[in-house]
Amino acid sequence: MNSKKFSEAISRLDTRYIDEAIGYKKKKTYKKPVWFKLGAMAACLCLVIAGGVMFAQNTGDNIPNPEIVQIPNPFITVTSVKEMEEYLDFNVPVLDKEVETYSVLVEDSYPTMGQINYTDGSEFRIKYGSGDISGIYGGTLEESKDIEGVKVDYYRYTDDTAPELTYAVWEQSGFTFSYIYNNDSIADVETIIQEFK
């Protein structure tokens, strides 16, 4: 736009608009007082100090002092098979060899399984139900035998960090059994099966 066209455009404007534009003053913006800004900075400083104090209390030589938590032993050690049978509501067959310990496993505040540890290192378990109660996981099935109408599975467990284990697992009359042994135990398993009939 050249100056001639600009002059013509201005001359066509109503003088009222020009007078209004000359007299226009910019509105004052509200300016926050200084104390407001200082108050905001003081509040932030208080938060930083409070956080530092809380952090300092959680570090250092503070040793937690929880109350003593006791977990009940799931095994009850008893002195005889008779006492074991008083806890359990079934008979427990016992082999004719020296016993190290008699134990009863308690699950959900109810005695459920009998365990006999013998001095030769063998261990016998009995419990209502079915399944493997040996407590050994990852064993290899070596063979299955029928002993007086009861199927007995013989397993072997090997691990580089522990001695080799051999054990038998079977079910009979609504109960499940396991017998961990160190030598040929076919006779021991037969005895248990015969005594439980």
> What is the pLDDT, as a whole number, of residue 109?
83
Verify that 137 and 79 share a domain, yes or no. Answer: yes
Taking the alpha carbons of 54, 59, 62, 63 in that order, is the dihedral positive or negative?
positive
Q: Are residues 52 and 80 in the same domain?
A: no
In angstroms, the Cα distances linking 5 to 24, 110, 147 are: 26, 106, 121
Whether 88 contacts 146, CB under 8 Å:
no
Cα–Cα distance list, 109 to 48, 87, 127 (Å): 52, 12, 15
Tokens read off for 30: 């509200």
Q: Do 120 and 28 belong to one domain?
A: no
pLDDT at 103: 93
**pTM for the complete prediction?**
0.61
Q: Based on the fold, state whether residues 7 and 37 are members of the same structural domain.
A: yes
Same domain, 103 and 167: yes
pLDDT in tens, the chain (197 residues): 677 776 777 677 677 767 777 777 666 666 667 666 777 777 777 777 877 777 666 655 666 566 666 666 788 889 999 999 999 989 999 899 899 999 999 888 889 999 999 998 899 999 999 999 998 888 899 999 999 899 999 999 988 887 888 999 999 999 999 999 877 667 898 889 888 87
Number of domains in the chain: 2
C-alpha distances out from residue 70 to 12, 44, 64, 77, Å = 98, 46, 17, 18
pLDDT at residue 145, rounded to an integer: 92
Query: The domain containing residue 32 runs over which residues?
Result: 3-57
Residue 141's domain is classified under what CATH number? 3.40.1000
State the pLDDT at residue 126.
95
Q: Are residues 11 and 88 in the same domain?
A: no
Does a structural domain hold residue 90?
Answer: yes
Residue 143 contacts by C-beta under 8 Å, 6 or more apart in sequence?
Answer: 153, 154
Instruction: Tell me whether residue 123 is in a domain.
Output: yes
User: 7 in a domain, yes or no?
Assistant: yes
